[in-house]
Structure 1
Amino acid sequence: MAELAGLVARLEVAVGRLEGMSLSGGGGGGAASPSGGPVAKFVEEYDDIVSGAVAQYLSLSQKIGGDVQKHADMMKQGFAAVRQILVLASSHQKPSDSAMGTLLQPVSKVVSQVQNFRESNRTSALFNHLSAVSESVGALGWITVAPKPGPYVKEMNDAAMFYTNRVLKDYKEKDKTHTEWVKAYLSIWTEMQNYIKKNHTTGVAWSKTGPVASASAAAAPPPPPSGGCPPPPPPGPPPPAMDLSGGGDSGGDNRNALFASINKGADITKGLKHVSDDQKTHKNPNLRTGGGPVRSGPKPFSSGPKAAAPAQAQTLPPVLELEGKKWKVENQENAQNLVISDTELKQVVYAFKCNKSTLQVKGKLNSITLDNCKKMGLVFDDVVGIVEVINCRDLKIQVMGKVPTISINKTDGCHVYLSKDSLSCEIVSAKSSEMNILVPNKDGEFTEMPVPEQFKTVWDGHKLVTTATEIAG
């Protein structure tokens, strides 16, 4: 069995390399530029990304299959179209704006196809995978960005993380293939940022000599010595504007302006204490082997009467660390002073299996997820994406600034304290009970209102009409 597993692993690597060679046009002897000579060094380095991270992403997408594989096939054409531009740039001067618009049509077409495929498959079981790719496919358009294409790719990559985190959450303990898929896909754009920083810092490095590039120069590139990918479809009329935004809410400047004013009602946080560096597991790995430091202090939330029996010993060590762009808060027990303060807009917080604890998140960040937590309090300033609660019990959430959406799923007992700046927040709930929204009054007190749990549906002769019902009692 061990020999068979090793053989399968070697076969997967070989398939990945073949995918990369097919996409980059590699075939041992190297591809030729439109002028007939060898390609520039920056084209070869682009091919390294294609034969590495991109090939791994394509291989894993094929393994997952279904809509993910179809999406990956589209992305494959997108990377090939970008390579065609780079090969042209290696031997031609920068074209006119009108010619550039025609040259970019294959890339633009892929961007549209990827985004439209996601929109037309919203019921797909792999919708989070499709959304991650769709939100970041605009990164292919870095070849049009100047003078900072690298930060643009980073912004597109950040836009994908909301959905890749959902994939990780859904498949964390189910299927390793999906977690590897996330790592492979995100690594494409991380490597692309490094590549751009080295070769195209202020924009595509067009040749200073040679003819000026035109639409016909890239219409029929010479075939590679072996392998090679099929040419892109014939271009149609130039589009009026190329949409490479990815459709995601990743515009940092707009959000900064939108959330410039934050309500600082700090009474709810007076009982919280900052966690010093010597208590953070990501700065002190030796703490992970024990139970971790725990202080007791004033509680901003009341968790109700204490259980008579003592809590069972933890089977896993507590975690509070930053891993990439994700703050991991896991297995915290009776920790009333958890604070995350060094936040950035691109970061997310994922709290998993925390019990009788309170977490304060300062600053503005992308999203917060509470998963399998009990008797927990959450206080946060601003979230630009979503706060998601799933499989939890007895939670209290305090919004200090703004949040557009709070999603509550499979949860019993959830109290949400809104700020005056978050009254437009959408509360989306499913399969949950004992939910209450507390709205601030002018005197600083809160008015508590229950979220309907029971509904009545009737047929009005044309369609089903559903209304919330209230049961007196």
Structure 2
Amino acid sequence: MAELQQLLQPVADEMVAAGQLADNRRSAAFQQLKVVAESLNGLSWLAYTGPACGMPLPAQHISDSWNSAEFYANKLMMALKGKDEAQIAWLKAIKGGGVTAGLRKVTDDMKAKNRTDKSGHVPSSGGGAAAAPAPAKAKAGPPMGNPKIELEGDRKWVVEHHSGNREIVVDRTDPRHTVYIYNCHNCVVQIKGKVNAVSIDGCKRTGVVFEQVIATCELVNCGSMQVQCLGHVPTVSIDKCDGCQVFINQDVAQGDFQLVTAKSSEVNLTVVPADPESDADAVEHPVPEQFISSFKAGRLVTVAASHSGG
């Protein structure tokens, strides 16, 4: 094990350095650095030594890292469209399908949580019995149950426990209905028609597209999400989420729209032209994460922090 760590140390040092650079949100190249850092994270599969090492299987780990890098790459490509073709070409090269084309699909029986050889014991190469090392705590994967798309009690659509399904459609909707999306990973969910509310809970790297919401679209405990409203929504609420891109059209932005965030990071609101045929560019608005509180006339006043380049 010590020899393996020594062999991998130069690679690990570069990965740490890339991660530190990507943590600098003030950098003009923040998004580019995130693409590089998330891509490099895939190399840590080299440290995989077995089910008890605390890592998912190599193919799953690489896929997760690549999906995260692709999230930032897609966002950057949208921002640079028609502005910087050199960077667009660079991003397309990174996104080339050859990177993951050779990976085998991780089936359920291959996942660490389902394997039978999870004891962590290492057979001795000598005659005597070697003491087994204490097994490391396994990295928790998504608690997948049976995939479900169902209307409960003629009131609530439940979409849960999907992984890798990019063609989920909820189309028999009614203004009385709510839609609850839970524990979906690497999915795309499309909600047609008008519904009362949409709740998204515990999802990762998933896109949700809806047409009309009467009350609220709510996200809780999610990561690397994309939510797009094609029609109208009065409020989007984001709580305990890490990475969320919200798309609304210009008509919604000019109304009484509200975006409410709490305990969340990397939230961006993008306003797209109301007319799909328009040549106007989409405008991205980063949501503040840092705030400054001070006393004014005896009252505590809190404002969002702003940073100027220089």
What's the TM-score once normalised by structure 1's chain length? 0.35
Alignment-derived partner of residue 428 in structure 1: 260
Q: CA deviation at 1:303?
A: 3.8
* Count of aligned positions: 173
Alignment-derived partner of residue 184 in structure 2: 354
Alignment-derived partner of residue 319 in structure 1: 148
Q: CA deviation at 1:421?
A: 2.7
* Cα separation, 2, equivalents of 1:454 and 1:402: 29
Asked if 1:386 is matched to 2:222, the reply is no
* Cα separation, 2, equivalents of 1:303 and 1:322: 31
Of 228, 234, 243 in structure 2, the residue corresponding to residue 413 of structure 1 is 243
8 Å contact from structure 2 (residues 144, 183) kept in 1: no
Where do residues 270-285 of structure 1 align in structure 2 (5 Å cutoff)?
Answer: none
* Cα separation, 2, equivalents of 1:345 and 1:356: 28
Q: CA deviation at 1:443?
A: 2.1
Asked if 1:438 is matched to 2:274, the reply is no
* Cα separation, 1, equivalents of 2:294 and 2:307: 18
Q: Look up the equivalent residue of 1:346 and give its one-letter code.
A: R
Q: Look up the equivalent residue of 1:460 and give its one-letter code.
A: K
Asked if 1:455 is matched to 2:287, the reply is no
* Cα separation, 2, equivalents of 1:369 and 1:315: 19
The Cα offsets for residues 401-457 of structure 1, whole Å up to 9 and x where unpaired, read as: 000100000001000110133213100000000000001245253111100010001
Asked if 1:371 is matched to 2:201, the reply is yes
Where do residues 101-116 of structure 1 align in structure 2 (5 Å cutoff)?
Answer: none
Q: Which has the higher strand share?
A: 2
Asked if 1:466 is matched to 2:302, the reply is yes
Alignment-derived partner of residue 41 in structure 1: none
Q: Look up the equivalent residue of 1:326 and give its one-letter code.
A: K
Aligned pair in 2 of structure 1 residues 453, 363: CA closer, same or farther (>3 Å)?
A: same
| SS at 1:334 equivalent | coil
Aligned pair in 2 of structure 1 residues 458, 374: CA closer, same or farther (>3 Å)?
A: same
Asked if 1:334 is matched to 2:170, the reply is no
* Cα separation, 2, equivalents of 1:436 and 1:303: 13
What's the TM-score once normalised by structure 2's chain length? 0.52
8 Å contact from structure 1 (residues 399, 422) kept in 2: no
The Cα offsets for residues 109-168 of structure 1, whole Å up to 9 and x where unpaired, read as: xxxxxxxxxxxxxxxxxxxxxxxxxxxxxxxxxxxxxxxxxxxxxxxxxxxxxxxxxxxx
* Cα separation, 1, equivalents of 2:151 and 2:192: 14
* Cα separation, 2, equivalents of 1:452 and 1:353: 27
Q: Look up the equivalent residue of 1:459 and give its one-letter code.
A: F
| SS at 1:322 equivalent | strand
Aligned pair in 2 of structure 1 residues 438, 315: CA closer, same or farther (>3 Å)?
A: closer
Asked if 1:402 is matched to 2:232, the reply is yes
| SS at 2:162 equivalent | coil
Query: What root-mean-square deviation, in Å, do the aligned CA atoms of Structure 1 and Structure 2 show?
Result: 2.4
* Cα separation, 1, equivalents of 2:262 and 2:144: 31
Unaligned runs of 5+ in 2: 1-69, 73-94, 115-142
Alignment-derived partner of residue 160 in structure 1: none
Where do residues 108-257 of structure 1 align in structure 2 (5 Å cutoff)?
Answer: none
Q: Which runs of 4+ in 1 moved over 3 A?
A: 302-315
8 Å contact from structure 1 (residues 303, 356) kept in 2: no
Aligned pair in 2 of structure 1 residues 435, 463: CA closer, same or farther (>3 Å)?
A: same
* Cα separation, 1, equivalents of 2:245 and 2:149: 24
Q: CA deviation at 1:463?
A: 0.8
Aligned pair in 2 of structure 1 residues 456, 310: CA closer, same or farther (>3 Å)?
A: farther
Q: CA deviation at 1:310?
A: 4.5
8 Å contact from structure 2 (residues 223, 242) kept in 1: yes
Q: Which has the higher helix share?
A: 1
8 Å contact from structure 1 (residues 341, 361) kept in 2: yes
Identical pairs, percent: 37
Q: Look up the equivalent residue of 1:361 and give its one-letter code.
A: I
The Cα offsets for residues 249-296 of structure 1, whole Å up to 9 and x where unpaired, read as: xxxxxxxxxxxxxxxxxxxxxxxxxxxxxxxxxxxxxxxxxxxxxxxx
* Cα separation, 2, equivalents of 1:332 and 1:365: 21
| SS at 2:174 equivalent | coil
8 Å contact from structure 2 (residues 144, 162) kept in 1: no
| SS at 2:205 equivalent | strand
Q: CA deviation at 1:472?
A: 4.8
